[in-house]
């Protein structure tokens, strides 16, 4: 599984958790967020929380005071399970969340292992959870190359997540368009063009040196003022691998560092477009197989699940807007167990329906939901057993809408024809 493939699932997971957390509201200022960066001593954090516990004892409202103090104790308990913070640090959210109107608060605790190191040490007590520092991790993390070029200079930079490195700045040495007196216009033009081509070749070589060694270079963005960037792109100055990676050619006002910053400002939009193109390509492949009746695709939860179990799936396509849960229903009398797929909003009514229902095996009215899993996680887990690639497709695009509406949000491109 390549990094980019895994990341659409990883990002989906984090996004889903953060969306759920961000929507939670406390009754008062009583939700605790704690960020522990790697390398921080757990004992320091526990001591800091002890001080906060002391401060909280001055809170006037009895309920808020109790809820804050309870939350702090819970966080301390969780922290004590760690000798030191995990590799990427640790984030804990804890607080009394109203379950069903006022008075129904229940302390909820969430321990998040961030997908990359957090570099912030923070304690906040607020009416909401402070998820924004984790939200930043949802940004694409692949590296993009930036190459700005005009007739007088060129700048090469790399952008990885938020990290921008200006690697190289070159000047062309190509004389301006107006010639010095005494030379023939045509000779001057020819000479200038030759110098320009030499300069392009030089820029291309530097680009190869800088960008080719980057593992998982996601794309190359060309820019600069005026038409020179297009001339550069059209010529054979870039290695063919890099040429294939050009994802966008954009206008900037400058070639210098300022120009690079202009590209960075537009980067989120460019990256969305790149992902969109990937998703479109996947969906088009899926639709091609359907249209040509090749038998190399399947869709709908049951068929896809069967194909996954037989190892037939090459690429699993899942809509990011599936609000569906895989629930394990178990009989506490005889141990009978079955799995059911339900829409998230139907989960509560499933539990209600089960409460009076006899177990199909022992007939005792002892059925209950013992475990739930998001359908995306559930199918991705199955995919993992046979190294099928998992792509979470955004429902923002037309293709994503089609996956969601016409194919139930679950589809697969197959390695071989699946039986049945
Ligand atoms: Zn039973």
When pLDDT is averaged across residues 120-139 and rounded to a whole number, the result is 87
Identify the residue with better confidence: 181 or 334. Answer: 334
Q: How far is the CA of 329 from the centre of ligand 1 (A)?
A: 11
Give the residue among 233, 340, 218, 231 at the shortest CA–CA distance from 273: 218
Query: Residues with beta carbon < 5 A to ion ligand 1?
Result: 331, 333-334, 336, 359, 361-362
2 pLDDT more than 80: no
Q: What is the pLDDT of residues 367-379, one digit of tens each?
A: 999 989 999 989 9
Name every residue whose Cβ is closer than 8 Å to that of residue 305 and which is 6 or more positions away in sequence.
379, 382
Distance from the alpha carbon of residue 328 to the mean position of ligand 1, in angstroms: 14
H or E element: which one contains 297? strand 297-299
Q: What's the pLDDT at 140?
A: 59
**What is the 79 CA–ligand 1 centroid distance (Å)?**
39
Tell me the CA–centroid distance for residue 373 and ligand 1, in Å. 22
User: Is the pLDDT assigned to residue 85 strictly greater than 90?
Assistant: yes
Contacting residues for 134 by C-beta, under 8 A, at least 6 apart:
14, 18, 91, 112, 114, 118
pLDDT higher than 50, residue 5: no
The answer, as to whether pTM is greater than 0.85, is no
Task: Report how far ligand 1's centroid is from the alpha carbon of 349 (Å).
Answer: 20
Task: Show the tokens assigned to 364.
Answer: 């005792």
Lowest mean pLDDT among 137-141, 306-310, 346-350: 137-141
What is the 363 CA–ligand 1 centroid distance (Å)? 6
Mean of pLDDT values over 382-409: 91
How many angstroms separate the alpha carbon of residue 357 from the centre of ligand 1? 11
Better-predicted residue by pLDDT, 137 or 361: 361
What is the band of 6 on the pLDDT scale with cuts at 50, 70, 90?
very low
- Determine what percent of the chain is predicted with pLDDT higher than 90: 68
pLDDT higher than 60, residue 3: no
* Residue 70 · residue 108 · CB < 8 Å: no
CA of 149 to the centre of ligand 1 (A): 72
> Cα of 381 to ligand 1 centre, how many Å?
28
C-beta separation of 92 from 78 below 8 A: yes
Residue 1 has pLDDT above 60, yes or no: no
Give how far Cα 181 sits from Cα of 113, 188, 195, Å.
69, 10, 19
**Mean pLDDT across the stretch 207-227?**
93
- Look at residues 61, 225, 65 and name the one whose alpha carbon lies nearest to residue 149: 225
Distance 375 CA to ligand 1 centre (A): 25
Cα 351 to ligand 1 centroid, rounded to whole Å: 16
Q: How far is the CA of 367 from the centre of ligand 1 (A)?
A: 7
Q: Mapping DSSP to helix (H, G, I), strand (E, B) and coil, where does residue 395 land?
A: coil
Distance CA 255, CA 242 (A): 20
């Amino acid at each position: 599984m390549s990094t980019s493939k895994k990341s659409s699932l990883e990002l989906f997971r984090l996004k889903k958790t953060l969306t759920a957390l961000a929507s939670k509201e406390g009754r008062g200022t009583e939700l605790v967020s704690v960020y522990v960066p790697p390398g921080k001593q757990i004992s320091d954090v526990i001591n800091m929380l002890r001080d906060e516990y002391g401060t909280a004892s001055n809170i006037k409202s009895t309920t808020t005071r109790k809820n804050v103090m309870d939350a702090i104790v819970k966080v301390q308990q969780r922290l004590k399970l760690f000798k030191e913070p995990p590799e990427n640090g640790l984030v804990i959210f804890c607080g009394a969340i109203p379950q069903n109107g006022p008075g129904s608060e229940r302390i909820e605790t969430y321990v998040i292992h961030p997908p990359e190191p957090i570099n912030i040490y923070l304690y906040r007590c607020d009416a909401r959870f402070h998820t924004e520092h984790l939200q930043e991790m949802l940004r694409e993390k692949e590296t993009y190359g930036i190459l700005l070029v005009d007739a007088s200079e060129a700048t090469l930079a790399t952008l990885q997540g938020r990290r921008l490195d200006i690697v190289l700045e070159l000047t062309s040495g190509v004389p301006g368009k107006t010639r010095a007196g005494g030379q023939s216009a045509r000779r001057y033009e020819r000479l200038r063009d030759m110098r320009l081509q030499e300069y392009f070749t030089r820029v291309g070589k530097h680009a190869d040196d800088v960008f080719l060694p980057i593992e998982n270079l996601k794309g190359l963005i060309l820019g600069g003022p005026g038409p020179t960037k297009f001339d550069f792109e059209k010529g054979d100055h870039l290695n063919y691998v890099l040429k294939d990676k050009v994802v966008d050619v954009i206008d900037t006002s400058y070639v210098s560092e300022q120009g690079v910053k202009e590209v960075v400002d537009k980067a989120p939009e460019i990256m969305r477009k790149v992902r969109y193109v990937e998703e479109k390509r996947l969906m088009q492949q899926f639709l091609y197989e359907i249209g040509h009746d090749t038998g190399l695709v399947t869709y709908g939860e049951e068929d896809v699940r069967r194909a996954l179990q037989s190892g037939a799936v090459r690429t699993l396509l899942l809509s990011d807007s599936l609000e569906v849960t895989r629930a394990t229903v178990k009989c506490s009398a005889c141990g009978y167990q079955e799995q059911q797929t339900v829409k998230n909003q139907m989960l509560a009514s499933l539990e209600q329906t089960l409460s009076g229902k006899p177990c199909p095996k022992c007939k005792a009215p002892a059925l209950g939901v013992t475990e739930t899993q998001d359908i995306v996680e559930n199918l991705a887990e199955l995919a993992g057993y046979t190294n099928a690639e998992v792509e979470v497709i955004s429902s923002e695009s037309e293709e994503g809408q089609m996956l969601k509406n016409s194919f139930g949000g679950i589809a697969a491109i197959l390695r071989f024809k699946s039986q049945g």
